[in-house]
A = this chain, B = another copy of it.
Amino acid sequence: MQKRSLKHVIFGKPIHERLAHHERLNVPFGLAVFASDALSSVAYATEEVLLVLILAGSLVAYNQLPPIAIALAVLLAIVAFSYYQTVHAYPDNGGTYVVSTDNLGSGAGQFAGAALLIDYVLTVAVSISSGVQAVISLAPQAQPYAIHIACAAVGILCFMNLRGAKESGIVFAIPTYGFIILILILIGNAIVTGVNSPQVTPNLPPHDGDPLHQMGLFLVLRAFAASCTALTGTEAIANGVKAFKPPEARHASQALVAMVVLLGVMFIGISWVAHHSGIVPMHSGTEGYKTVLAQISINQFGNGPMTWAIMIMTAGILFLAANTAYADFPRLASFIARDGFLPRQLASIGDRLVFQNGIILLSIVSIALIIKFNADTHSLIPLYALGVFIAFTLSQAGMFVYFRKRRWMVLKRKDLEANEENPVHTPQERIVAARKLAYKSYISAFGCLVTFIVSGILVVTKWEEKIWIVVIAMGVIMAIFTLISRYYKKLATKLSVTNEDTLPELTATTLLLVPRLHKGILQAIKYAQASSPDVRALHVSLNQKSAEKLKEEWIKFGVEMPLIILDSPYRSIVQPTTEYIDELLAKNKKRMVTVIVPEAVPNHWYQALLHNNAAIQLKLALAKRKNVVITNVRYFIEEPK
């Protein structure tokens, strides 16, 4: 293990930095790494609420923005409090999938897993689209290329993550803290300059006559549902407790509190400023489109350097937010795979190939979504929040069960180990501890109920806006989980070793394919000789002359191995070889035949085109034969550096 650093130079780093926890994070860096997803959502959440409210065409509806922002902040506090408990209860891994599976059973875990997988894809699509809209607000001439820019951004993310570039906290810190500081300045400036002036009357478009768009409970709920996207990403810290410096739980919960406070302040602040300045959101794709945030900033600072900085930082933090999904998606998939609901190889996420497959899959699906929805945040948003809220609900239900169980254990059983957190030595202490756990369970239950209701609101109010796509996708993913799990279970039963099973007897025969005698195969000859007592060299003769020459050289060099020369009337190497192998197998059912094919390793990849690797052809030809092993012994044409 001591040679790790050298390895990384050759293979790239083995795994995403956030998974590997090479260097543990302190609170400020942890906030930068894990909060970009949540904090970046203030870039679009206010706009989404306003886009619903202005449908009514009335100032009454428009004026619902501040109360909705406050309601959202309350919801955020509830969710955050529940996660605060989770962080302490599951310092190892408080991921929704694990919490749900552990406490509610595998079905609930799969449900949460499917919801989160969908959500990670949407995180990429929404964050990138929103980032592009920030760019367009700065440079309207980029509008026609929005989809191209978005796809290119996903491509860059994909490439960055495939290469496994080292991401230290500092890379996250610049746009995250830059964004936070600038937004706080923006809000502060607006309060100072605007608090004594009256609200600007917004220039609202008229009501379009659709009764669903009239001011009323449904519209307000729908606007509230739109605001819920601001909560996406709040689960990130609970998922990554282990990345913090010890004591992990304390540091993580500090970062969580900081994040939630910042998120609440920024969302309420931006909503207040937007409302006070009478900002009316524009529809993306229209000439001169600017995001609400851009409009606010131009209102405050003009279309100058400050606005440019805000837009650049916004695009930056959104890009980072998308990047977090590139760590979360393969990691979650690895947990699900470990439990047998996704292909088993996904579990070994530390292997580049596996990690890379996950990254490529995530990129392809995100790009498809971006193209399908024209890189328009507003069209993508309705799909977004449901997955997160399903996950919230299940996570908190899981925590409820967790606390109730522990309470029961504390009360009824003596064998619960005492520890620092639960000093349950005396009956008195036990009662205190049980009461504490009961309170915790009430909080989780309350959080669960609230997020469950919000999930319902999301489904109902966004049904028209294609949220059913998410419902169908959940069903499909759950079906895939079930099929895969069933396959593995059947396989395990079929392959399980019983008492009757013994190691099979076998006779080993090794065949060494010799095209001609050269330096490269000397090692293969020795290797073959060492591998079994029955070794034969096999030469398929495409022309008489070279076979004669090989025979001579074989004798002259004195190789102690019978040389078998097979004629090939149809100039095939594979056919005579397979026929010879079939004869060997037919003579002795217990025989295992190993075919050793010497393989040249050229200096340059294109030179490989000039070297035949008969092993591939033999493998194809012998795919259905049992007891045949085909193996390459390589020789290097130049010594490897």
Residues of A within 8 A of B (CB): 1, 3-4, 7, 10-11, 14-15, 19-20, 334, 338, 343-345, 347-354, 484, 487-488, 491-492, 494-497, 501-506, 508, 517-520, 522-523, 525-527, 529-532, 540, 542-543, 553, 557, 559, 568, 570-575, 578-579, 582, 592, 594, 601, 607, 609-612, 614, 616-617, 620-621, 623-626, 629-634, 636-637, 639-641
A572 and B15: CB pair below 8 A?
Answer: yes
| Chain B residues in 8 Å Cβ range of A582 | 3
B351 and A542: CB pair below 8 A?
Answer: no
Expressed in whole angstroms, the Cα–Cα distance for A219 and B503 within the complex equals 84
A-B pairs with beta carbons under 8 Å apart, 8 shown:
A3-B579, A343-B610, A345-B614, A350-B574, A351-B575, A354-B617, A496-B519, A503-B522
| Chain B residues in 8 Å Cβ range of A575 | 7, 11, 14, 350-351
| Chain B residues in 8 Å Cβ range of A15 | 570-572
User: Taking CB as reference atom, which chain B residue is nearest A586?
Assistant: B3
Expressed in whole angstroms, the Cα–Cα distance for A503 and B575 within the complex equals 30
User: Taking CB as reference atom, which chain B residue is nearest A629?
Assistant: B633
Expressed in whole angstroms, the Cα–Cα distance for A290 and B532 within the complex equals 71
Expressed in whole angstroms, the Cα–Cα distance for A487 and B611 within the complex equals 11
User: Taking CB as reference atom, which chain B residue is nearest A353?
Assistant: B617
B543 and A338: CB pair below 8 A?
Answer: yes
B612 and A571: CB pair below 8 A?
Answer: no
Q: How far is the CB of A480 from chain B (nearest CB, A)?
A: 11
Expressed in whole angstroms, the Cα–Cα distance for A236 and B543 within the complex equals 23
| Chain B residues in 8 Å Cβ range of A625 | 640
8 cross-chain pairs, A with B, having the tightest CB-CB distances, nearest first: A350-B572, A345-B612, A350-B570, A631-B631, A495-B518, A350-B571, A348-B573, A495-B519
Partner of A7, one of B518, B542, B579, B592: B579
Q: How far is the CB of A528 from chain B (nearest CB, A)?
A: 11
Q: How far is the CB of A401 from chain B (nearest CB, A)?
A: 22
B542 and A348: CB pair below 8 A?
Answer: yes
| Chain B residues in 8 Å Cβ range of A523 | 503-504, 506, 592
Q: A3-B582, A15-B571, A572-B348 are in contact. Are A518 and B496 (CB under 8 A)?
A: yes
User: Taking CB as reference atom, which chain B residue is nearest A348?
Assistant: B573
| Chain B residues in 8 Å Cβ range of A578 | 7
Q: How far is the CB of A228 from chain B (nearest CB, A)?
A: 33
A640 and B626: CB pair below 8 A?
Answer: yes
State the copy count for this chain. 2
Expressed in whole angstroms, the Cα–Cα distance for A574 and B530 within the complex equals 26
B527 and A506: CB pair below 8 A?
Answer: yes
B579 and A527: CB pair below 8 A?
Answer: no
| Chain B residues in 8 Å Cβ range of A530 | 506, 508, 532, 592
Extra 15 A-B pairs, beta carbons < 8 Å, given A497-B519, A506-B523, A601-B623: A10-B624, A20-B570, A351-B617, A352-B574, A352-B617, A487-B607, A487-B610, A488-B610, A495-B520, A495-B637, A496-B519, A508-B530, A527-B592, A624-B641, A630-B632
Q: How far is the CB of A542 from chain B (nearest CB, A)?
A: 6
Q: How far is the CB of A208 from chain B (nearest CB, A)?
A: 47
| Chain B residues in 8 Å Cβ range of A634 | 626, 629
Expressed in whole angstroms, the Cα–Cα distance for A506 and B527 within the complex equals 8
Partner of A525, one of B349, B503, B505, B579: B503
| Chain B residues in 8 Å Cβ range of A630 | 631-632
Partner of A632, one of B540, B559, B568, B629: B629
Q: How far is the CB of A369 from chain B (nearest CB, A)?
A: 23
A351 and B484: CB pair below 8 A?
Answer: no
Partner of A571, one of B349, B484, B527, B640: B349
Expressed in whole angstroms, the Cα–Cα distance for A641 and B625 within the complex equals 10
Partner of A505, one of B354, B517, B526, B626: B526
| Chain B residues in 8 Å Cβ range of A504 | 522-523, 526
B338 and A609: CB pair below 8 A?
Answer: no
Partner of A497, one of B518, B632, B633: B518
Partner of A531, one of B487, B508, B641: B508
User: Taking CB as reference atom, which chain B residue is nearest A580?
Assistant: B1
A348 and B612: CB pair below 8 A?
Answer: yes
B631 and A629: CB pair below 8 A?
Answer: yes
A338 and B503: CB pair below 8 A?
Answer: no
User: Taking CB as reference atom, which chain B residue is nearest A502?
Assistant: B522
Q: A526-B504, A616-B353 are in contact. Are A542 and B347 (CB under 8 A)?
A: yes
Expressed in whole angstroms, the Cα–Cα distance for A328 and B609 within the complex equals 22
| Chain B residues in 8 Å Cβ range of A495 | 518-520, 637
Expressed in whole angstroms, the Cα–Cα distance for A609 and B522 within the complex equals 37
Expressed in whole angstroms, the Cα–Cα distance for A548 and B570 within the complex equals 55
User: Taking CB as reference atom, which chain B residue is nearest A10?
Assistant: B624
A636 and B626: CB pair below 8 A?
Answer: yes
Expressed in whole angstroms, the Cα–Cα distance for A497 and B522 within the complex equals 9
Expressed in whole angstroms, the Cα–Cα distance for A553 and B14 within the complex equals 31
User: Taking CB as reference atom, which chain B residue is nearest A608?
Assistant: B343
| Chain B residues in 8 Å Cβ range of A624 | 10, 640-641
Expressed in whole angstroms, the Cα–Cα distance for A349 and B582 within the complex equals 22
User: Taking CB as reference atom, which chain B residue is nearest A506?
Assistant: B526
| Chain B residues in 8 Å Cβ range of A601 | 623
Expressed in whole angstroms, the Cα–Cα distance for A235 and B621 within the complex equals 35
| Chain B residues in 8 Å Cβ range of A343 | 609-610, 612
| Chain B residues in 8 Å Cβ range of A617 | 351-354
B620 and A353: CB pair below 8 A?
Answer: yes
| Chain B residues in 8 Å Cβ range of A574 | 348, 350-353
Expressed in whole angstroms, the Cα–Cα distance for A508 and B343 within the complex equals 34
B14 and A334: CB pair below 8 A?
Answer: no
B570 and A14: CB pair below 8 A?
Answer: yes
B347 and A572: CB pair below 8 A?
Answer: no
B579 and A1: CB pair below 8 A?
Answer: yes
Q: How far is the CB of A559 from chain B (nearest CB, A)?
A: 8
